[in-house]
């Protein structure tokens, strides 16, 4: 993409309403525009990152054997009355009536609707196990929306639902989600620690939330710092291997990690003093096992092998996709702007032309731009007639991981400059070597 043809409305000054780094930088980098309290338009750069994250979520869900679908954002109040949650959910749920005086709601979650879909089409244990998921906009009428996309009213979320015959099967589905989520966060360049948590209005006896450590986190976290070093890495995972999946979950949850709501002082003391840590955490996902809570209430049963009718065992599993962008920026920024991990960056590399209009410099930039695109990469070429300082400031603000700088002085030696946004280190290479270096960095990401 040529920056002269792109829509990137960056701001020079810090917005007064932004209280935390991610909100400030998303506004300044032209990623979002607030339309009303807690509701944002996603401008091209922000939308590009949102789509990259959603794609990673889709890929990891499908690797785990989960099936995508899409449900409506508006739901009938009758479904929620069946489950008993309509009056219990609270004012966060936006309720209204349509023109025919039917009571409706803007869905904050979809347990009732997915159970309705299941009971209409599945009647035998032979169709189990089944996991259905979607990535969809949701709405919760927060009493005090703040922190930009971190605590908005409208948000983009992956929500998945598992249906199994037995509790043992359902707990394997729970473990499968934990592992797939760990892989998802790692691909995004995040360390998300799974912590036992409260199930809240979703309900259920087993739940973990995933927290990214950041100073602006809303939850106080007590943990053993050795959990930060745990990685799946390139480990091959067979999601049908119950033993392997259970062992991975045990590995990631054995070391102590709890939020303030579930902290037990007698346990926080079990951590060796050298490894005790207290920090703030941003919740970016949660998984639940709640058994037959919804299936019993809504009549979602299957015929078991012995011919009896039994309610299915269920769980639900969510990732806050739009919220993840805020968490990523909170964990990856400096005084100049955002620093995107390679796996989620909106553009793979920025090209800065130091002397726009100079024939040799323009030609070299065009050649590098074409070579990067031919290599399957997505470069952003700053071809504006702007000062070099302004171009560098824009690249630093939007946070692309790599920059190739092209100017007459370097070209006189057949060299361009390749700079890492994260480390600030630069090296001079030929144009061909610069393209090869960037292509190698993204190979396999």
Give 371-398 pLDDT, tens digit per residue: 999 999 999 999 999 999 999 999 999 9
Which of 25-29, 133-137, 230-234 is predicted with the least confidence, judged by mean pLDDT?
A: 230-234
pLDDT at 198 over 80: no
Residues 38 and 151 sit within 8 Å (Cβ to Cβ): yes
How many other CB atoms are there within 10 angstroms of residue 132's CB atom? 18
d(CA 111, CA 294): 7
As a whole number, mean pLDDT of residues 193-212 equals: 76
User: Residue 307: which pLDDT band, with cuts at 50, 70 and 90?
Assistant: very high
Q: What CATH code would you report for 7-338?
A: 3.30.930.10
Q: What is residue 221's predicted lDDT score, i.e. its pLDDT?
A: 84
Q: What is residue 403's predicted lDDT score, i.e. its pLDDT?
A: 98
Q: What is residue 222's predicted lDDT score, i.e. its pLDDT?
A: 85
pLDDT at 442 over 80: yes
pLDDT at 202 over 60: no
pLDDT at 230 over 70: yes
Assign 332 to helix, strand or coil: coil
pLDDT at 195 over 70: yes
User: Residue 305: which pLDDT band, with cuts at 50, 70 and 90?
Assistant: very high
d(CA 27, CA 22): 9
Q: What angle do CA 358, 361, 362 make, to 5 degrees?
A: 80
- For the stretch 11-52, pLDDT in tens is 999 998 898 999 999 999 999 999 999 999 999 999 999 999
User: How high does pLDDT run on average in the chain?
Assistant: 93
User: Residue 256: which pLDDT band, with cuts at 50, 70 and 90?
Assistant: confident
The residues spanned by each domain of the chain are 7-338, 349-441
Q: What is residue 266's predicted lDDT score, i.e. its pLDDT?
A: 53
Q: What is residue 267's predicted lDDT score, i.e. its pLDDT?
A: 57
As a whole number, mean pLDDT of residues 288-308 equals: 95
As a whole number, mean pLDDT of residues 199-217 equals: 76
**Class of domain 349-441 as given by CATH:** alpha beta
pLDDT at 155 over 80: yes
Residues 378 and 439 sit within 8 Å (Cβ to Cβ): no
- For the stretch 98-114, pLDDT in tens is 999 999 999 999 999 99
d(CA 133, CA 126): 20
Residues 8 and 28 sit within 8 Å (Cβ to Cβ): no
How many other CB atoms are there within 10 angstroms of residue 61's CB atom? 24
């Amino acid at each position: 993409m040529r920056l002269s043809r792109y829509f990137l409305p960056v701001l020079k000054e810090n917005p007064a309403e932004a209280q935390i780094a991610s909100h400030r930088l998303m506004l300044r980098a032209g990623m979002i525009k607030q339309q009303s309290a807690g509701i944002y338009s996603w401008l091209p750069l922000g939308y590009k990152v949102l789509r990259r994250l959603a794609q990673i979520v889709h890929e990891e869900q499908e690797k785990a054997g989960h099936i995508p679908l899409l449900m409506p954002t508006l739901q009938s109040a009758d479904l929620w009355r069946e489950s008993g949650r309509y009056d219990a959910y609270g004012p966060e749920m936006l309720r209204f009536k349509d023109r025919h005086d039917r009571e409706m709601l803007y869905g904050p979650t979809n347990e009732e609707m997915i159970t309705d879909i299941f009971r209409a089409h599945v009647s035998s244990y032979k169709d189990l196990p089944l996991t259905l998921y979607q990535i969809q906009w949701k709405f919760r009428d927060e009493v005090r929306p703040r922190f930009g996309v971190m605590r908005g009213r409208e948000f983009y979320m992956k929500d998945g639902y598992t249906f199994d015959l037995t509790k043992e099967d359902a707990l394997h589905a729970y473990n499968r989600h934990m592992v797939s989520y760990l892989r998802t966060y790692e691909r995004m360049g995040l360390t998300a620690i799974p912590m036992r948590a409260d199930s809240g209005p979703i309900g259920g006896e087993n739940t973990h939330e995933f927290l990214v450590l950041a100073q602006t986190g809303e939850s106080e976290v007590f943990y053993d710092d050795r959990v930060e070093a745990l990685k799946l890495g390139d480990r091959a995972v067979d999601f049908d291997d119950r033993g392997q999946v259970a062992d991975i979950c045990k590995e990631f949850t054995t070391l102590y990690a709890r939020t303030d709501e579930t902290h037990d002082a007698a346990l926080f003391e079990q951590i060796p003093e050298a490894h005790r840590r207290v920090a703030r955490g941003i919740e970016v996902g949660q998984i639940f096992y709640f058994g037959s809570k919804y299936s019993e209430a809504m009549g979602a049963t299957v015929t078991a092998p012995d011919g009896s009718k039994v309610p299915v065992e269920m769980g639900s599993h969510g990732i806050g996709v739009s919220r993840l962008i805020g968490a990523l920026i909170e964990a990856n920024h400096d005084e100049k702007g955002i620093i995107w991990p390679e796996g989620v960056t909106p553009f793979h590399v920025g090209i800065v032309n130091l002397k726009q209009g100079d024939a040799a410099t323009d030609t070299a930039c065009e050649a590098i731009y074409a070579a990067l695109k031919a290599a399957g990469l997505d470069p952003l070429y700053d071809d504006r007639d702007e000062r070099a300082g302004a171009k560098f400031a824009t690249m630093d603000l939007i946070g692309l991981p790599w920059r190739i700088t092209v100017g007459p002085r370097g070209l006189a030696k057949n060299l361009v400059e390749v700079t890492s946004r994260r480390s600030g280190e630069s090296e001079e290479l030929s144009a061909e070597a610069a393209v090869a270096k960037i292509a190698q960095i993204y190979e396999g990401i």
